[in-house]
Homo-oligomer: A and B are copies of this chain.
Amino acid sequence: MAKKVVIIGAVALGPKVACRLRRLDPEAEITLIDRDDLISYGGCGIPYYVGGDINDLEELYSTTSHAIRDVSFFRDCKGVRVMTRVEARAVDRKNKCVQICHLETGAEESLRYDKLVLATGARAFRPPFPGADLPGVFTVSNLHEAEQIKSLMTRGKVGKAVVIGAGAIGLEISEALTDLWGIETSLIEMEDQVLPTLLGKCIARVVAAELRAKQVHLLLSEKVMQITRDRKSDTLMVHTSKDILAADIVILAAGVRPNNLLAREAGLAIGQAGGILVDRRLRTSDPDIYAGGDCIELRNLVSGENMMMALGSLANRQGRIIATNISGGSSHFKGTVGTFCVKIFDLGVCKAGLTYRQAKETGFDPVYSAVVQPDHAHFYPSAELMYLSLVADRQTRRILGIEAAGKHGDAVKARVDTIASLLRYGIDVDDVCSLETGYAPPFASAMDVINNAGNALDNILAGRNQPIDAADFLFEFRHGKMFVLDVRGEREARPLCAKYGERWLNIPQNVLRSRHTEIPRDEPFFLICDTGARSYEAQVFLRTRGVENTKHIQGGYAMILVAEPGFAA
Contacts and interface: CB of A to CB of B under 8 A. Distances in A.
Nearest to A46: B441
A12 B489 CA distance: 25
A42 B441 contact: yes
Interface in A272-320: 311-317, 320
A54 B417 contact: no
Interface stretch (A148-156, A222-230, A403-411): A403-411
A244 interface: no
A44 interface: yes
What 7 A-B pairs have minimum CB-CB distances, sorted nearest first? A313-B439, A410-B410, A341-B438, A414-B414, A26-B544, A312-B446, A410-B411
Interface of A: 12, 16, 23-24, 26, 42, 44-45, 48, 53-54, 59-60, 62-65, 67, 72-73, 76-79, 168, 311-317, 320-321, 331-334, 336-337, 339-343, 348, 350, 352, 373-375, 377-381, 408-411, 413-414, 416-422, 425, 430, 433-444, 446-448, 451, 455, 464, 488-489, 509-511, 513-514, 529-531, 533-534, 537, 540-541, 544
B377 A42 contact: yes
Contacts of A381: 53-54
Contacts of A79: 513, 541
Nearest to A459: B23
A435 B12 CA distance: 17
A373 B65 CA distance: 11
Given A420-B437, A440-B342, A316 B446 contact: yes
Nearest to A437: B417
A45 B381 CA distance: 11
B434 A321 contact: yes
Contact of A421 (B408, B418, B447, B534): B418
B420 A436 contact: yes
A125 to B, nearest CB: 20
A331 B380 contact: no
A489 B48 CA distance: 28
B438 A64 contact: no
Nearest to A424: B436
Contact of A442 (B314, B343, B375, B488): B343
A333 B434 CA distance: 7
Binding site secondary structure of chain A: mixed
A336 B331 CA distance: 30
Contacts of A414: 410-411, 413-414, 417-418
Contacts of A73: 510
B53 A439 contact: no
B420 A422 contact: no
Contacts of A377: 42, 44-45
A60 B331 CA distance: 50
Contacts of A332: 430
B436 A314 contact: yes
Contacts of A531: 64
A95 to B, nearest CB: 31
Nearest to A383: B64
A435 B421 contact: yes
A541 B76 CA distance: 12
Contacts of A312: 439, 446
A465 to B, nearest CB: 10
Given A380-B45, A446-B316, A416 B434 contact: no
Nearest to A438: B341
Given A381-B53, A413-B411, A433 B317 contact: yes
Contacts of A447: 16, 313, 316-317
A447 B414 CA distance: 17
Contacts of A316: 446-447, 451
16 contacts: A23-B464, A26-B541, A44-B377, A48-B442, A64-B378, A72-B510, A79-B513, A313-B444, A313-B446, A317-B434, A341-B443, A348-B442, A350-B438, A410-B413, A413-B414, A416-B438
Contacts of A12: 446
A23 B339 contact: no
A343, A378, A437, A511: which has the most chain B beta carbons within 10 Å? A437
Contacts of A435: 317, 421
